[in-house]
Amino acid sequence: MFAYTLWDDVYRRAIRQECEVDQVDSDAFGDLRHYRNAILHNKGVLKKDTKALTVFGKGDAIEPTIDELRDIFKQLVLGLNDVGLRYYGENPGFEWGRRLNS
């Protein structure tokens, strides 16, 4: 849930300012918001369709295993690459399992 809070409160604002756009969207982080809302407000049941995060679908109870959490994080990393392409015109090349400086 903290990942979504950082996205919404810090990074969206920074990208809006840097790229001089009015709105910054991400399918992956939008889906993370749906997951968050399901956990906090819907007894863990996902009420919305998702676009980028495919671990859970509409109607599923969000009770992730370790492997499912890993898959969610992998998909969020791909979402960061999509943000780079969409707003900065380049893929930052993030990959799950690869150190940033290697």
Q: Is the pLDDT of residue 59 over 90?
A: yes
25-41: average pLDDT: 96
What are the structure tokens assigned to 44, written together? 């863990």
* CA 53/CA 56 separation, integer angstroms: 7
Say what the pLDDT of residue 102 is. 63
In angstroms, rounded to a whole number, what is the distance separating the alpha carbons of residues 36 and 47?
11
Domain borders along the chain are 2-88
The residues near 26 (Cβ < 8 Å, ≥ 6 apart) are 7, 52, 79, 82, 83
The pLDDT of residue 2 is: 87
**pTM: predicted TM-score of the whole model, two decimal places:** 0.90
